[in-house]
Amino acid sequence: MIPPEIQLDPPAPPAPKGVVVIEAAMVTMPANPGVYRMLDQKGDALYVGKARNLKRRVLSYTQIGRLPERLRRMVSETVTMEIVTTHTEAEALLLEANLIKRLKPRFNIVLRDDKSYPWLMLTEDHPYPQIAKHRGARVRKGAYYGPFASAWAVNQTVTAMQRVFLLRSCADTVFGNRARPCLLYQIKRCSAPCVGRISEPEYGKLVNQAKAFLAGKSASVQQELASEMETSAEALEFERAAAIRDRIRGLTFVQGNDVVNPASLEDADVIAAWQIAGQTCVQVFFVRGGRNNGNRAFYPTHTRAEETPEVLSAFIAQFYDDKPPPPLVLINRELPEQGLVAEALTLKAGRKVEIHMPQRGEKHAVIQHAEINAREALERKLAETAGQAKLLEGVAKLFGMEAAPERIEVYDNSHIMGTNPYGVMIVSGPEGFHKAAYRKFGIRGAIAPGDDFAMMKEVLTRRFARGLKEQAEGAPASEWPDIVLIDGGAGQLSAVRAVLDELGVSDVKLIAIAKGPDRDAGREWLHTDGMAAFQLPPRDPVLYFLQRIRDEAHRFAITTHRAGRSKAIRQSELDEVQGIGAARKRALLNHFGSARGVKMAGLGDLEATPGINKEIARRIYAHFHPGVRMEGAS
């Protein structure tokens, strides 16, 4: 019993939630256009919405009886509301799309698209422009064309452009250090400007033709080439005429090689959505300059209650958040606020953008083609997901789990006698491999050669220590694994169990998969806590599934190790020379083309390098030629 002289403070009342919070926020809420955010008790966004009139829109959330169950649950979890006012509703739509992509609220339709798109670049900072694939920020001066749906699509275009316009694709450092033409000149995919096989004005003419082709003026380019061929033939320059003929053939091949290549479309995106069983696939075809730059399928996250037009509208707003919209967007469903979405895209692009749902003609055929692709892609995904779900249920049954695992983490290591050691984690679940969740761990501790136990201990300690910290801070439960799978036998299983016990992790199923003494795939032994080691029949689907995810971890570990080793090799050549910083290293590589070129250079050549004085040159030469006297060295 507490003595009467000791007074305890009464417990703090629970923080208000739901309608009470929304009504309190409405007292100061303006009737302007803007964006509102509903936050939960952890400060995470539950929902992001836009409104022409914030006060009127938010008022609807206080009328609980008129809301569907999903929104009632959202309102009940709301602890805080935040707003941002804008000048127009179109600006609010753009801000809403940006916040949804960044915050990924639970109750919004979310486009999970974290990949950058490749572009084709023609440089403009060199007398002989280079054609190349480009990703990321446009820091280099040049003309950019795209986007392309995939690296494959842009690589195909670069190859075609080389064949037709003979433009160089080599880096400037390689260009500046060639003494004879490369193989691309021999197979008629480059005009070899690096060794003077073409003059600067003639090469500039090729560049202008390429730009005209990429701008959709392929007919005029073809006429120009045909005229050049006839002129050359009349002048009895048959070799030149034959070369131009080959270029015309290449141009004809490029023009006729597209699946979707409608004459009535120049710059447009063709976007079609298809919905089955509450899931949606959106297919996007990129058409630029009258050519198909490829297509990509997307699967936005949303509830089963969302209809196709609402999903498509949210997708379009978020899709163009980080890329410029073309002048025309073709769609297969009318959007709920189509005029507003078009106004927002116009505002973003700085020019008119039209959104159109064609009813007949060539454009209608194009959108139908995209719709068929969306339907077939979704059907394939649903079939794969159903198969994956069945396999996960088989794993649960095999290892005595109450429910099918939602997240399986697989770990592996890779090194060569302890050098460049890396550990990796791959993730698999109902949707297959979740590559965005893959992790690489550069081993930091001192590891004895071949000590895989120590490497695995460091990797697991770092992963689960961080996971426990995030869990304490309210991280989503989906980020915690149901199963940890390792490549190994009873010894590896015991070692991993000891690591997790030390961290206090007891709610994860541990499985080890080890090949038998003959190392034959299909005769693996499976180990787990509380069960004797056992084997499955060689053709068992669950065994094949476990082999596949183990092999994916092994592949990822090897590629990670190789990338790290290559990086170390690249850095070790010049970085070990005292006094060589980033600027001097760049000067040497620009002058000699490679670290090997620096290594093979004479003292006189090093002294003649811009940005390298005699003292540094002697230091570099001495580093690569220990024991050689400086006097007379050359």
CATH code of 416's domain? 3.30.420.340
Q: Which of 444, 438, 396 shows the shortest CA–CA distance to 546?
A: 396
Among the three residues 74, 103, 132, which one is the final residue of a domain in this structure?
Answer: 103
Residue 402 in domain: no
pLDDT band for 259, please (50, 70, 90 cuts): very low
Mean pLDDT of the chain: 83
Contacts of 580 (CB under 8 A, 6+ apart): 574, 588, 616, 620
CA distance 123 to 588: 23
For 492-502, write each residue's pLDDT tens digit: 899 899 988 88
Helix (H) or strand (E) holding 361: helix 361-398
Instruction: Check pLDDT > 50 for residue 633.
Output: no
For residues 36 and 541, the model is more confident at 36
Instruction: Check pLDDT > 60 for residue 4.
Output: no
Task: Provide the CATH number for the domain around residue 39.
Answer: 3.40.1440.10
3-state secondary structure at position 120? strand
Residue 391 in domain: no
For 274-316, write each residue's pLDDT tens digit: 998 888 999 999 988 878 888 889 999 898 889 999 999 999 9
CA distance 338 to 563: 47
| Residue range(s) defining the domain that contains residue 502 | 408-567
For residues 608 and 359, the model is more confident at 359
CA distance 97 to 114: 14
Q: Are residues 185 and 283 in the same domain?
A: no
Residue 181 in domain: yes
- Asked whether the beta carbons of 127 and 120 are under 8 A apart, the reply is no
Q: Are residues 412 and 553 in the same domain?
A: yes
pLDDT the model gives residue 517: 61
Average pLDDT over residues 424-435: 90
Residue 9 in domain: no
pLDDT the model gives residue 340: 94
Q: Are residues 202 and 154 in the same domain?
A: yes
Residue 12 in domain: no
Q: Are residues 581 and 562 in the same domain?
A: no
pLDDT the model gives residue 479: 80
Residue 143 in domain: yes
Q: Are residues 357 and 306 in the same domain?
A: yes
Report the half-sphere exposure of 311 (CA within 13 A, side-chain side).
26
Q: Are residues 376 and 459 in the same domain?
A: no
CA distance 314 to 48: 12
Q: Are residues 130 and 206 in the same domain?
A: yes
Across 574-608, b (16+ Cβ under 10 Å) vs e yields beebeebeeebbebbbebbbebeebeebebebbbe
For 143-179, write each residue's pLDDT tens digit: 888 888 888 888 888 887 788 888 898 888 888 888 8
Q: Are residues 158 and 235 in the same domain?
A: yes
Q: Are residues 209 and 306 in the same domain?
A: no
Looking at the 3D structure of the chain, how many domains does it have? Answer: 5
Task: Provide the CATH number for the domain around residue 290.
Answer: 3.30.420
Q: Are residues 163 and 212 in the same domain?
A: yes
Q: Are residues 417 and 518 in the same domain?
A: yes
